[in-house]
């Protein structure tokens, strides 16, 4: 067959490296992007950690000085403890709460899943603001419950984390429960095992991979806790809530980038360690039978119990959103009235009018960039994840590298990438974001599709090859059309990450989209920046922030609605 | 073209190739950083005469004479949003500048306050020519200052009128070496913000019955503009609280991120100038420099002088009239939001809040606002600065824009139409005659009185590399414990001093 020269060169490289040429071809674009955009910043960050900056902005070699300061830093031990607390308590609480809800959903039906999923599709800063508005002891619902400084506690940070991550945990565990085969269910029934006893003896060991997957994914989310800390620090005090992610950010912008870089190296080591542990645990395909106490009953839990559990979860999930929706329809004077009104006395839509009048160009930019990046991400990761899952391309090492990049803060990329974008003369244009956003979305979507393709029936591929199709055609004509379910979920996550992105737009843009010259694509400030503009310390617009929070939730929720049926399939049986 | 047969490299060779690639990347990175202790390209080198980019305007050494010089080029001015007078003022100045010089295009770009440093620092570190002018705050000066143009040449040449800029207002942008020599002045002030000042509900203090009763009981006037000691402020608050005129008498900053740190420094200063232990001279500019002195070549904190203990005790008395910090710590947001509710008779606030307090759409104290300096000279300055990007294609044009911005004409227009508070002597005098901004009058005298600054001593705190990242959090945590009643004032200052001595990390410069 005749191929263009460029393709032949790629194929030749694949041959040189003893890799199937088509698999290499599939993976090449994503790998080139990933390595070119990540290796330099990662290495650069490590080098920076060996320097210290003086008050005049000059860097001085300090060797391991920043790492030695770990020993003297009066806050680091507490910060590491906080980091571990966020990393472990978030998934542990998630799993403990998710299991009864997942069981309830299995009994009552999955039609409630869409509502339960809502918090996971709300941008992190919006979620943090929702909770802190509700917990404000003067203007919030907490006025009527307990007038205490909720924002000063790490438990509030964990609460916000759990609120956001619980839905995904429920989904993963529910998917696992749903995928238990009918034969196993029937056999358990014949043995007289039902209810909680069956769950502990049969179901839980079978869904151990899903539990582990949920644990690791939520652990990584916990590692990167940022927005609740950012908002809560003014009440808690300095360093009380900090984790490594926030501390490194603060150090970087307080004029100590070398120490910030060292902290990021420490954070990356932690996350890599747990990523490797996860891979090893998933490889241990052992059916673990747990000892079950005799008092655990072997009869079905009454439906009313499941309904009560569902109602309680609904309250937990919907209450902050309802409160913020409430605020978005209040006048500024009513928002700061003490005691706070439960329902608006005078309903106003002025907050929403302000958003659409002043924020339209930001909304257009965010929506467009998110959609474009979603498309680019899918084009890159679909073939890569197929190669990794179906043909073991890159092995565990590539998987770990991808998980590692998922766990590195975007902070380390902005200076190296800015120079590159400036060279291309695309600063403050849509192109700057289009070129850089995949760094954020490729790792997590590769992971999602990897999990999807691991379960993909190999027989389809084998049958197509027997029919004479080469790997290229097998993928594009057979595998890809059948991957719509997985791709729709990957698309949701890619959109979500792109929609809520903040660091890259802050670094690479400085004006909103010029609606007078739409085809220039100049001006690329996003809706997340617009929300930040409303959160000024001098003129904080609570109503505007609430309204923009509601609006910022709509596009991801639309995608969630469209892809809801595929969400459970992606997690239905995880594993390498 | 024929596909080559499958032949491959050995794993060992492949591994070697990867290692070589990584080494090359490391070398590139180190070269970019200028490794081995040599300095990176710094803004100071960028502004030396041999490296200054070519300018569209070259008469920077001349004071404007008629006819006005022909200017051309474009400028981007980066500022943070939120201050209700800043953006309108910048837009007004931009419009007037473009009208005066039709060949010039000026664009004002706003970013969120909390993220200005991200946007500006990324551009400066990457040597991007845009933005040309950066509007920033004193807290951002240590981070951005090293990368901005040294404006001394414009001060010396008369582009900026040096005599019209208060010395005390400029200090946050002085970059000093370890000996106190000025290495750079990283900007000029363009907006004055006083903080903290005492804001109060005027109708309470204009009530003649209360005035008479108070005077009779305490022997001094029930007038915040006349108070000179903390004791007078505290007694007035006790009086108001006892009569339950408002729900709370006084709102005072005790927020745990920054406000404790900002609130305490003014109180400490007011005692320090009368405490020989601190060696803080009267008529000096207040600031964090007062926390340190040098004795026999060694830097020691001054917080455990008597002034430090007295200041803490007064601080505790000032915050007793509001909910405790375990219910609500009074940080920036709370100082802004809670005073609006009308529940507080008095409050300590930044003057940037005044337009918000006077906005009847959000405030219950609108048009009833009184403003006075804090007693005992505790009110400080937190001006907004304008700095120039050394990589701008129009550095001199940027300087001329700033000079235009801080000219008396623009300030007069800003004060009259927007309520903008100028930063220069002439501007403040003009503003004190404009009804909207007449409240600045007592503060002008305050600025004029603060003239003394021991730059060598000021360099101490500048050169403590971890002053804000480590020492400030220690301070806030210890003072918070004191306010919670967990320790005495003496224990607090001693804890702070002993921890600071252990932690202080001095810059290599």
Using the predicted structure, report yes or no on whether residue A284 has a pLDDT greater than 90. no
Q: Across the interface, do A44 and B37 touch by the CB < 8 Å criterion?
A: no
Mean pLDDT, all residues of chain B: 86
Write out chain B residues lying below 8 Å of A263, CB-based.
none
Average pLDDT over residues A99-110: 88
Residues sharing a CB contact under 8 Å with residue B99, sequence separation 6 or more, in sequence order: none
Residues sharing a CB contact under 8 Å with residue A566, sequence separation 6 or more, in sequence order: A484, A485, A486, A488, A489
A58 touches chain B (CB under 8 A): yes
**What's the per-residue H, E or C state across B21-87?**
HHHHHHHHHHHHHCCCCCCCCCHHHHCCCCCCCCCCCCCCCCCCCCCCCCCCEEEEEEEECCCCCHH
Q: Across the interface, do A74 and B5 touch by the CB < 8 Å criterion?
A: no
Question: Could you tell me the pLDDT band of residue A11, with boundaries at 50, 70 and 90?
Answer: low
Using the predicted structure, report yes or no on whether residue B275 has a pLDDT greater than 90. yes
320-339 in A: which are within 8 Å (CB) of B? 331-333, 336-338
Using the predicted structure, report yes or no on whether residue B82 has a pLDDT greater than 50. yes
Residue A428 has which token pair? 């403050």
Task: Give per-residue pLDDT as tens, A484-541.
Answer: 888 888 888 899 889 988 888 988 988 899 888 888 888 999 998 888 888 766 667 8
The shortest CB-CB distance from B327 to any of A148, A239, A331 is to A148
In this structure, of A367-371, A478-482, B71-75, B308-312, the range with the lowest mean pLDDT score is A478-482
Question: Could you tell me the pLDDT band of residue B253, with boundaries at 50, 70 and 90?
Answer: very high
Using the predicted structure, report yes or no on whether residue B11 has a pLDDT greater than 60. no
Alpha-carbon distance of B407 to B21, in angstroms, equals 56
Average pLDDT over residues B421-448: 92
A32 touches chain B (CB under 8 A): no
Greater confidence, A301 or A259? A259
B61-100 CB burial, b ≥16 within 10 A, e <16:
eeeeeeeeeebebebbbbbbbbbbbbbbbbbbbbebbeee
Using the predicted structure, report yes or no on whether residue A354 has a pLDDT greater than 70. yes
* Percentage of residues in chain A having pLDDT higher than 90: 27
Average pLDDT over residues B450-458: 80
Q: Strands across the sheet with B197-201, in order?
A: B248-251, B344-349, B197-201, B369-373
Using the predicted structure, report yes or no on whether residue B38 has a pLDDT greater than 80. no
Q: Across the interface, do B142 and A55 touch by the CB < 8 Å criterion?
A: yes
Q: Which of helix, strand or coil describes residue B378?
A: coil
Average pLDDT over residues A378-384: 93
Asked if A328 and A352 touch (Cβ cutoff 8 Å), the reply is yes
A38 touches chain B (CB under 8 A): no
Q: Across the interface, do B477 and A238 touch by the CB < 8 Å criterion?
A: yes
At residue B233, the pLDDT reads 97
According to the per-residue pLDDT averaged within each range, which of A147-161, A166-180, A350-364, A557-571 is highest? A350-364
Using the predicted structure, report yes or no on whether residue B44 has a pLDDT greater than 50. no
Using the predicted structure, report yes or no on whether residue B286 has a pLDDT greater than 50. yes
Using the predicted structure, report yes or no on whether residue B428 has a pLDDT greater than 90. yes
Using the predicted structure, report yes or no on whether residue A359 has a pLDDT greater than 50. yes
Using the predicted structure, report yes or no on whether residue A576 has a pLDDT greater than 90. no
What element of type H or E holds A311? helix A303-328
Give the number of other CB atoms < 10 A from CB of residue A518. Answer: 11
Residue B504 has which token pair? 């202080």
In this structure, of A278-282, A520-524, B58-62, B369-373, the range with the lowest mean pLDDT score is B58-62
At residue A574, the pLDDT reads 42
Asked if A556 and A492 touch (Cβ cutoff 8 Å), the reply is yes
Q: Contacts from A345-350 at CB under 8 Å and sequence distance 24+?
A: A348/A543, A350/A543
Greater confidence, B500 or A290? B500
Candidates A537, A541, A542, A545: best to mutate against B (most CBs of B within 10 A) is A537
Separation of first and last alpha carbons in chain A: 35
- A14 min Cα distance to partner chain B (Å): 9
Strand-pair partners of B104 = B73
At residue B52, the pLDDT reads 25
A371 touches chain B (CB under 8 A): no
Mean pLDDT, all residues of chain A: 84
Alpha-carbon distance of A244 to A225, in angstroms, equals 9
Using the predicted structure, report yes or no on whether residue A279 has a pLDDT greater than 80. no
Task: Give per-residue pLDDT as tens, B190-240.
Answer: 999 998 999 999 999 999 999 999 999 999 999 999 999 999 999 999 999
Task: Give per-residue pLDDT as tens, A418-462.
Answer: 888 988 989 999 999 999 999 999 998 998 888 888 878 888 888
Question: Could you tell me the pLDDT band of residue A214, with boundaries at 50, 70 and 90?
Answer: confident
Residues sharing a CB contact under 8 Å with residue B215, sequence separation 6 or more, in sequence order: B221, B222
- A201 min Cα distance to partner chain B (Å): 46
- Among chain A residues, the shortest Cα distance to B134 is held by A510
At residue A289, the pLDDT reads 59
- B231 min Cα distance to partner chain A (Å): 28
Task: Give per-residue pLDDT as tens, B96-114.
Answer: 999 999 999 999 998 888 7
Q: Across the interface, do A234 and B256 touch by the CB < 8 Å criterion?
A: yes
Candidates A513, A538, A545: best to mutate against B (most CBs of B within 10 A) is A538
Q: Across the interface, do A18 and B337 touch by the CB < 8 Å criterion?
A: no
Write out chain B residues lying below 8 Å of A73, CB-based.
470
What element of type H or E holds A407? none
Using the predicted structure, report yes or no on whether residue B283 has a pLDDT greater than 60. yes
Residue A133 has which token pair? 């508005």
Alpha-carbon distance of A308 to B465, in angstroms, equals 56
Average pLDDT over residues A379-405: 87
At residue B471, the pLDDT reads 94
In this structure, of A19-28, B302-311, B365-374, the range with the lowest mean pLDDT score is A19-28
What element of type H or E holds B387? strand B384-388
The shortest CB-CB distance from B343 to any of A338, A419, A529 is to A338
Alpha-carbon distance of B340 to A283, in angstroms, equals 60
Closest CA to B376 of B419, B318, B321, B429: B318
Task: Give per-residue pLDDT as tens, B135-173.
Answer: 999 989 988 999 999 999 999 999 999 999 998 899 889
At residue B23, the pLDDT reads 63
Q: B73-80 and B104-111: which strand pairing? A: parallel
């Amino acid at each position: 067959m005749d191929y263009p020269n460029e393709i032949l060169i790629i194929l030749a490289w694949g041959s040189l490296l003893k890799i199937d040429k088509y698999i290499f071809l599939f993976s090449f674009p994503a790998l080139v992007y990933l390595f070119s955009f990540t290796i330099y910043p990662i290495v650069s960050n490590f080098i920076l950690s060996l320097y210290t900056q003086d008050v005049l902005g000059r860097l001085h070699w300090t060797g391991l000085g920043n790492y030695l300061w770990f020993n003297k830093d009066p806050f680091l031990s507490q910060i590491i403890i906080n980091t571990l607390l966020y990393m472990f308590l978030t998934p542990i609480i998630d799993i403990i709460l998710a299991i009864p809800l997942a069981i309830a959903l299995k009994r009552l039906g999955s039609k409630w899943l869409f509502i339960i999923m809502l918090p996971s599709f709300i941008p992190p800063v919006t979620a943090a603001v929702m909770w802190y508005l509700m917990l404000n002891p003067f203007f919030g619902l907490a006025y009527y419950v307990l007038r205490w400084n909720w924002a000063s506690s790490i438990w509030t940070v964990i609460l916000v984390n759990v609120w956001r991550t619980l839905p995904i945990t429920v989904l993963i565990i529910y998917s696992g429960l749903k995928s238990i085969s009918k034969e196993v269910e029937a056999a358990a029934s014949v043995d007289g095992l039902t209810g909680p006893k069956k769950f502990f003896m049969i179901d839980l060991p079978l869904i151990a991979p899903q539990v582990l997957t949920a644990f690791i994914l939520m652990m990584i989310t916990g590692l990167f806790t940022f927005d609740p800390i950012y908002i809560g620090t003014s009440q808690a005090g300095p360093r009380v809530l900090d984790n490594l992610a926030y501390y490194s950010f603060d150090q970087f912008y307080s004029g100590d980038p070398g120490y910030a870089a060292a902290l990021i190296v420490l954070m990356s080591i932690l996350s890599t360690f747990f990523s490797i542990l996860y891979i090893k645990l998933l490889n241990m395909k052992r059916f673990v039978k747990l000892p079950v106490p005799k008092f655990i009953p072997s009869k079905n839990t009454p439906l009313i119990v499941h309904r009560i559990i569902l109602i309680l979860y609904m309250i937990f999930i919907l209450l902050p959103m309802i409160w913020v929706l409430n605020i978005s329809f209040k006048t500024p004077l009513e928002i700061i009235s003490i005691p706070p009104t439960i329902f608006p006395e005078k309903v106003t839509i002025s907050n929403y009018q302000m958003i659409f009048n002043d924020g339209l160009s930001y909304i257009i930019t965010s929506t467009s960039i998110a959609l474009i990046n979603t498309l680019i991400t899918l084009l890159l990761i679909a073939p890569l994840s197929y190669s990794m899952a179906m043909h073991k391309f890159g092995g565990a090492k590539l998987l770990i590298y991808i998980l590692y990049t998922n766990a590195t803060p975007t902070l380390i990329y902005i200076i190296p990438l800015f120079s590159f974008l400036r060279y291309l003369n695309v600063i403050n244009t849509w192109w700057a974001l289009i070129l850089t956003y995949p760094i954020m979305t490729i790792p997590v979507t590769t992971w999602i599709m990897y999990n999807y393709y691991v379960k993909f029936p190999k027989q389809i591929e084998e049958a197509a090859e027997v029919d004479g199709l080469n790997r290229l055609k097998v993928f594009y004509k057979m595998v890809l059309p059948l991957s719509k379910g997985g791709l729709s979920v990957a698309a949701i996550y890619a959109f979500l990450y792109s929609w809520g992105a903040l660091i890259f737009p802050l670094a690479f843009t400085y004006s909103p989209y010029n609606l007078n010259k739409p085809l220039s694509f100049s001006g690329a400030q996003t809706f997340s920046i617009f929300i930040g503009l409303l959160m000024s310390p001098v003129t904080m617009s609570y109503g505007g922030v609430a309204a923009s929070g509601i609006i910022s939730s709509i596009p991801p929720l639309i995608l969630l609605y469209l892809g809801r049926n595929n969400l459970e399939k992606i997690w239905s049986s995880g594993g390498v | 073209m024929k596909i080559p047969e499958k032949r491959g490299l050995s794993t060992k060779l492949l591994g070697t190739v990867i290692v070589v690639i990584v080494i090359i990347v490391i070398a590139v990175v180190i070269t970019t950083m200028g490794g081995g202790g040599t300095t990176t390209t710094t803004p100071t080198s960028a502004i030396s005469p041999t490296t200054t980019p070519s300018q569209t305007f070259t008469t920077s050494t001349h004071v404007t004479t008629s006819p006005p010089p022909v200017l051309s080029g474009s400028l981007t001015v980066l500022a943070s949003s939120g201050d209700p007078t800043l953006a309108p003022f910048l837009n007004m100045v931009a419009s007037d500048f473009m009208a005066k010089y039709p060949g010039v295009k000026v664009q004002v770009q706003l970013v969120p306050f909390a993220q200005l440093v991200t946007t500006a620092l990324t551009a400066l570190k990457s040597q991007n020519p845009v933005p040309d002018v950066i509007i920033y705050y004193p807290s951002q000066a240590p981070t951005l200052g090293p990368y901005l143009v040294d404006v001394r040449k414009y001060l010396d040449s008369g582009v900026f009128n040096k005599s019209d800029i208060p010395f005390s207002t400029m200090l946050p942008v002085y970059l000093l070496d370890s000996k106190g020599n000025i290495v750079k002045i990283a900007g000029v002030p363009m907006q004055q913000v006083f903080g903290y000042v005492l804001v109060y509900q005027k109708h309470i203090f204009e009530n003649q019955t209360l005035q008479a009763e108070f005077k009779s009981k305490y022997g001094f006037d029930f007038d915040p503009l006349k108070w000179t000691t903390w004791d007078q402020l505290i007694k007035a608050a006790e009086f108001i609280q006892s009569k339950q005129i408002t729900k709370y008498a006084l709102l005072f900053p005790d927020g745990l991120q920054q406000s404790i740190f900002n609130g305490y420094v003014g109180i400490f200063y007011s005692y320090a100038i009368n405490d020989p232990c601190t060696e803080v001279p009267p008529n000096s500019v207040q600031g964090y420099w007062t926390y340190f002195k040098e004795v026999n070549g060694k830097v020691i904190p001054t917080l455990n002088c008597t002034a430090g203990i007295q200041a803490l005790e007064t601080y505790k008395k000032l915050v007793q009239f509001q909910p405790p910090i375990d219910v609500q710590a009074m940080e920036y947001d709370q100082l802004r939001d809670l005073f609006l509710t009308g529940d507080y008779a008095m409050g300590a606030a930044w003057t940037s809040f005044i337009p918000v307090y006077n906005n009847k759409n959000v405030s219950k104290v609108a048009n009833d606002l009184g403003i006075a300096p804090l007693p005992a000279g505790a009110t400080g300055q937190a001006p907004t600065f304008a700095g120039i990007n050394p990589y701008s294609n129009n550095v001199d044009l940027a300087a001329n824009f700033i000079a235009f911005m801080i000219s008396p004409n623009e300030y007069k227009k800003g004060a009259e139409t927007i309520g903008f508070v100028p930063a220069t002597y002439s501007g403040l005098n003009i503003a004190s005659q404009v009804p909207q901004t007449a409240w600045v009058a007592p503060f002008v005298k305050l600025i004029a009185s603060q003239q003394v600054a021991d730059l060598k001593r000021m360099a101490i705190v500048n050169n403590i590399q971890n002053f804000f990242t480590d020492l400030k959090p220690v301070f806030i945590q210890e003072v918070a414990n004191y306010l919670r009643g967990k320790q005495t004032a003496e224990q607090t200052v001693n804890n702070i001093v002993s921890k600071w001595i252990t932690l202080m990390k001095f810059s290599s410069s």
